[in-house]
C-alpha cells in the first residue's frame, strides 16, 4: 500500500473539478492518468501531493492522511514534476537538482556528503551527469524534463508524481523520458495526453472524464473502443502493438482526403 485517494473531491469558485475519485498506486508500478483536456488530471495530481487541499475525501500515504503529515516530511517521500516548469534565474543543472535536497536540510544545515551523493546519483539515473555545470537556459525541453526528474529523485522519494512530462517534446524525447520513468523502479503516477504512450508505458490506467473516474485497471480493460468513443468522442480501432501492448488507431472520415484518397 502506498499512495491512495478515497472519494476525493475538489472544486474552485463553486465549480466541481474533481468529483469523488478513488484510486490507488500499486508499489513500484506506473499508474497512468488519462482523460480529455479539462477532465481534472492536473488538479487530481495536485490533490495527491497536497498542493491543493481536498474539499472532501482523503488522500493517504501508507495509510496516513497526508493532510496530517508536515509538508517537509511529505516532500521526503513524495516528489512532484510539473509540466514545463521554468525559471528566469541563472541556475546550473546541479543548482536545480540540489533543490531536491531542500526537505532533507535544516534551515542552518550546510551541504553535506549525503546531499552531494544524492545529487550525483540522481543526475546519473537520468543520464545527465556530464551536464552538471551546464546552464538551465541552454538545455532543450527534453533535457530540462530530465533535470526536473533528477531534482525529484534527489528528494529520494518512494512515490513520484508527473504532470504530462512529455508535453511539447518531440517523439524521440517523449519515448526516452517515459522509458527513463519506467526504469526508475519508483511508484509513479503520470498524467499523459497520448493514449498510445499510456498503453505502452503504464501498468495501470485511470481514465478521468469531467472530474470523475470513468474506468480504471490494466490498459487492456480501460482502453476499449466504446470507452474511448464515449469519453474522447473519437472513433478508434484497437489493435496490438509489436510489443504486445494495446495500439490505438484513430479512424477519420475518409472524405477529408478528397481526391487524394488512396
Under rule CB under 8 A, residue 12 binds another protein: no
Helices (H) then strands (E): counts for the chain:
9, 12
The reply to whether 140 sits near another protein by the rule CB under 8 A is no
Tell me which of 12, 62, 67, 87 binds another protein, using CB under 8 A: 87
Choosing from 96, 191, 197, 213, the residue that interacts with another protein (CB under 8 A) is 96
Cell of 28: 513500484
Our CB check for another protein shows the closer of 52 and 212 to be: 52
> Please, which residues have CB within 8 angstroms of residue 130's CB and are 6 or more apart in sequence?
none
Q: Which of 14, 108, 185, 256 binds another protein (CB under 8 A)?
A: 108
Helix (H, G, I), strand (E, B) or coil at 130: helix
CA distance 199 to 1: 23
> What are the beta bridge partners of residue 6?
58
Q: Is 10 in the site for another protein (CB under 8 A)?
A: no
120 vs 203, beta carbon nearer another protein: 120
For another protein, which residue of 17, 74, 118, 192 counts as binding (CB under 8 A)? 74
Q: Which C-beta is closer to another protein: that of 18 or that of 222? A: 18
d(CA 243, CA 221): 17
103 binds another protein (CB under 8 A): yes
Q: Helix crossing, 171-183 with 141-154: angle to 10°?
A: 10
Which parts of 56-140 fold into alpha helices (H)?
71-77, 93-98, 113-125
106's CB contacts (< 8 A; 6+ apart) are: none
**Looking at 83-91, 170-178, 196-204, 224-232, which segment touches another protein (CB under 8 A)?**
83-91
Instruction: With beta carbons less than 8 A apart as the criterion, state whether 138 and 131 touch.
Output: no
Q: Which is nearer to another protein, 110 or 243 (CB)?
A: 110
Min dist CB 103 to another protein, Å, is 3
Cα–Cα nearest to 159, from 179, 183, 188 = 188
Q: Which stretch binds another protein (CB under 8 A): 30-38, 109-117, 222-230, 235-243?
A: 109-117
Name the residue nearer to another protein (CB basis): 22 or 86: 86
Residues that bind another protein (CB under 8 A): 46, 49-51, 70-76, 78-80, 82, 85-91, 94-96, 99-100, 102-103, 105, 107-108, 110-113, 116, 119-120, 129, 132-133, 155
Amino acid at each position: 500500500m502506498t499512495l491512495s485517494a478515497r472519494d476525493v473531491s475538489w472544486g474552485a469558485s463553486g465549480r466541481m473539478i474533481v468529483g469523488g475519485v478513488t484510486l490507488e498506486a500499486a508499489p513500484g508500478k506506473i499508474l497512468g492518468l488519462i482523460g480529455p483536456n479539462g477532465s481534472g488530471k492536473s488538479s487530481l495530481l495536485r490533490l495527491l501531493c497536497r498542493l491543493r487541499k481536498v474539499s472532501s475525501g482523503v488522500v493517504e500515504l501508507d495509510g496516513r492522511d497526508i493532510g496530517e503529515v508536515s509538508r517537509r516530511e511529505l516532500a521526503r517521500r513524495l516528489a512532484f514534476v510539473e509540466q514545463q516548469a521554468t525559471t528566469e534565474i541563472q541556475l546550473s543543472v546541479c543548482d536545480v537538482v540540489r533543490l531536491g535536497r531542500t526537505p532533507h536540510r535544516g534551515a542552518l544545515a550546510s551541504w553535506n556528503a549525503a546531499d552531494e551523493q544524492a545529487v550525483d546519483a540522481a543526475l546519473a539515473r537520468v543520464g545527465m551527469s556530464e551536464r552538471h555545470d551546464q546552464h538551465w537556459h541552454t538545455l532543450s525541453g527534453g533535457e530540462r524534463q530530465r533535470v526536473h526528474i533528477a531534482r525529484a529523485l534527489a528528494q529520494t522519494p518512494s512515490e513520484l508524481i508527473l504532470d504530462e512530462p512529455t508535453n511539447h517534446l518531440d517523439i524521440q524525447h517523449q519515448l526516452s523520458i517515459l522509458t527513463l520513468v519506467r526504469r526508475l523502479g519508483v511508484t509513479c503516477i503520470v498524467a499523459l495526453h497520448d493514449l498510445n504512450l499510456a498503453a505502452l508505458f503504464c501498468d495501470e490506467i485511470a481514465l478521468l472524464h469531467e472530474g470523475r473516474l470513468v474506468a480504471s485497471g490494466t490498459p487492456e480493460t480501460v482502453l476499449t473502443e466504446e470507452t474511448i468513443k464515449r469519453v474522447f468522442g473519437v472513433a478508434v480501432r484497437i489493435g496490438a502493438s509489436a510489443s504486445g501492448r494495446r495500439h490505438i488507431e484513430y479512424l477519420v472520415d475518409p472524405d477529408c482526403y478528397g481526391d487524394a484518397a488512396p
